[in-house]
Structure 1
Amino acid sequence: MPTINVQLFEGRSAEQKRAFVKALTEVTCQTLDATPESVDIIIHELKRENWATGGKLWSEPET
């Protein structure tokens, strides 16, 4: 039973997420010899103000 956790910035549509989880499920089944019913995908949507890279919040403008 693969469980996949995905962290994304918020703002994607339900249609985009639907297409993403469909594609991710398909490739998981192909590569891990799993059934679609055994694949769980959890999407964590984060605000840009709660994510930083290189000491800089993603919500801060480029300087």
Structure 2
Amino acid sequence: MPIINVQILEGRPKEKIAEVILNITNTVSETLDAPKESIRVIVTEIPKTHWGVAGTPKSES
């Protein structure tokens, strides 16, 4: 059973997260020839205060 973990910055609309889940599921299913029912996608939204780029939190950029 493929399990895919996706980490993204918080704040995207729930429709976009659902689209990511669907697209990842379809891609993994086609690539691995795995049934969609066996694929799990976990999306974790990270607060911008907890995501740093070049030493600066995204909340400050």
TM-score calculated relative to the size of structure 1:
0.88
Alpha-carbon separation, structure 1, partners of 2:36 and 2:27: 10
Q: Please, which runs of 5 or more residues in structure 1 have no aligned partner? A: none
Q: Please, which runs of 5 or more residues in structure 2 have no aligned partner? A: none
**Pairwise mapping of residues 3-22 of structure 1 onto structure 2 (< 5 A)?**
3-22=3-22
Alpha-carbon separation, structure 2, partners of 1:53 and 1:15: 26
Equivalent residues, number: 61
The structure whose Rg is larger is: 1
Which aligned runs of 4 or more in structure 1 are off by greater than 6 angstroms? Answer: none
Percent identical pairs in the alignment equals 38
Alpha-carbon separation, structure 1, partners of 2:27 and 2:13: 21
Once the 2 structures are TM-superposed, how far is the Cα of residue 20 of structure 1 from its aligned partner?
Answer: 1.1
**1:40 counterpart residue number:** 40
Secondary structure of 2:34's partner?
coil
Higher fraction of helix: 2
